Structure 1
Amino acid sequence: MSNLPDELRGVIVQTGAGQLLLPNSVITEVLSFSDPDAVDGAPSWLLGLIRWRGWQVPLLDFADLAGVQARTTQLQGGRRRVIVVKALGGNPRLPYMALLADGFPRLVTVKASNLQAPADATDIAACIHAIATLNDEEAIIPDLDKVEAKLTALAA
């Protein structure tokens, strides 16, 4: 992580997997949760499709996708949010994806010196780029390229 600028703008998103740390630049919109349209034969981590600005956007449960044990607390209806994220892989059929969240995301300024991958980072799941320590709490940094690749493979 030595090529990072001194400070980064990020967004902390609470999910069933715990805290996700996402770049501020990939967050497109935060929506209230509504039940997605089901997708026949979809894996458990693909909760369905939501309609957003004329697009059918896949809604993901990141904890399930990454193989991270979900927290025991249940998301409550009024606190659920959908975080629409830009897909950066250039697939014209998949310009966006969405993550199920617990409450509103919050902006953070992260000093590069505070992002420390743990020593046991060799056993990171396929869709997790790193697990960082941020203000004495763990935050998962998702590998959005791998998430997008999984979604693209489903559509093929």
Structure 2
Amino acid sequence: MQSVMTSPDNEEIRSLTALLLPLTDRTLIVPNVAVAELIPYRAPQGNDDLPDWFLGLVNWRDLRLPLLSFEVASGEPAVAAGNQARILVLNAQGGRSHVKFIALLVQGIPRAMKVDSELAAADVPLAALELAAVDADGIMAKIPDLLALENMLAEHGII
């Protein structure tokens, strides 16, 4: 994550707010501007003959969003939605005019934290779709490749 940015009026921004996303077997970290909303879990509809990481479609604000499992997309076994499961609505990154949002299954409520250039990189093995790992206040957090997730949806004709 880049921590020194400029605002529209060219003032330096030295930190940003990130969200720690609890999954079943890891924690992801994303800038909070990547997130549109956190909603209660609801069972997705339809998933016939599609990859296991695509959990189905969920309704959100008059839209049907593809819901996916990051764990399965990155090569781990399928996980069930636990009793703390939520759906994280992410702003799409790929510039497709017909795709504004995608949804990700998370296993709890994300936690906000400020990050800056002092965020320490961690030298740990990365799974597919993980760009890097960081030590976020003592929590090992992985930076997900959100664009790759969106591209996977497109490659399979889901979006």
Q: Above 0.5 in TM-score?
A: yes
Unmatched 5+ stretches in structure 2: 5-13
For residues 75 and 95 of structure 1, the distance between their equivalents in structure 2, rounded to whole angstroms, comes to: 24
Out of 53, 59, 70, the residue aligned to residue 45 of structure 1 is 53
For the structure 1 residues 69 and 138, does the alpha-carbon distance in structure 2 shift closer, same or farther, using more than 3 Å as the test? farther
RMSD, aligned α-carbons: 2.1
Could you tell me whether the CA contact under 8 Å between 1:66 and 1:126 is conserved in 2? yes
Alignment partner of 1:104 is 2:106: no
Q: How much does 1:125 deviate? A: 3.4
Could you tell me whether the CA contact under 8 Å between 2:3 and 2:115 is conserved in 1? no
Q: TM-score, normalised by structure 1?
A: 0.85
Q: TM-score, normalised by structure 2?
A: 0.83
For residues 146 and 22 of structure 1, the distance between their equivalents in structure 2, rounded to whole angstroms, comes to: 14
For residues 30 and 61 of structure 1, the distance between their equivalents in structure 2, rounded to whole angstroms, comes to: 15
Structure 1 runs of 4+ aligned residues shifted over 3 Å read: 68-71
**Which residue number in structure 2 is paired with residue 4 of structure 1?**
3
Per-residue CA deviations over 1:64-122 (Å, capped at 9, x if unaligned) read: 11124678xx6533x2110000011111232211111112111110132123141x55x
Out of 92, 100, 114, the residue aligned to residue 95 of structure 1 is 100
**Which residue number in structure 2 is paired with residue 64 of structure 1?**
72
- Paired-residue identity, %: 30
Q: How much does 1:47 deviate? A: 0.7
**Which residue number in structure 1 is paired with residue 88 of structure 2?**
83
Counterpart of 1:91 in 2: which secondary structure? coil
Counterpart of 1:155 in 2: which secondary structure? coil
How many positions carry a matched residue from both structures?
149
Higher helix share: 1
**Which residue number in structure 1 is paired with residue 42 of structure 2?**
34
Counterpart of 1:113 in 2: which secondary structure? coil
